[in-house]
Amino acid sequence: MTTAVTAIPCAPSDAAREHFAAEFSFETDCWDVHDSLSKGADFVLLDVRSPALYAKGHVPGAISF
């Protein structure tokens, strides 16, 4: 039985490796951000959610954009 998850076959290993290596050119993960912030970050963290969500809670030092 095919489901929506298995309807499209997985990518070949080399294509998956290239995809995930390139992904970090555009984004980072939350652990790396947390770790960098605790050590004195050399970047500005922008929170691009709505003002209401920013007001409910955000990473200390984040700027609402």
For 12-50, what is each residue's pLDDT tens digit?
999 999 998 898 788 888 898 889 989 998 988 888 999
Is residue 33 assigned to a domain? yes
Is residue 65 assigned to a domain? no
Is residue 6 assigned to a domain? no
Given pLDDT bands bounded at 50, 70 and 90, which one contains residue 62?
A: confident
Cα dihedral 41/42/48/49 (nearest 10): 0
46 versus 52: which is more confidently predicted?
Answer: 52
Domain that holds residue 37: 13-56
Is residue 63 assigned to a domain? no
pTM above 0.75, yes or no: no
Is residue 26 assigned to a domain? yes
Is residue 22 assigned to a domain? yes
Helix, strand or coil for residue 40?
coil
For 52, the token pair is 């209401």
For the chain, the domain total comes to 1
CB 33 within 8 A of CB 11: no
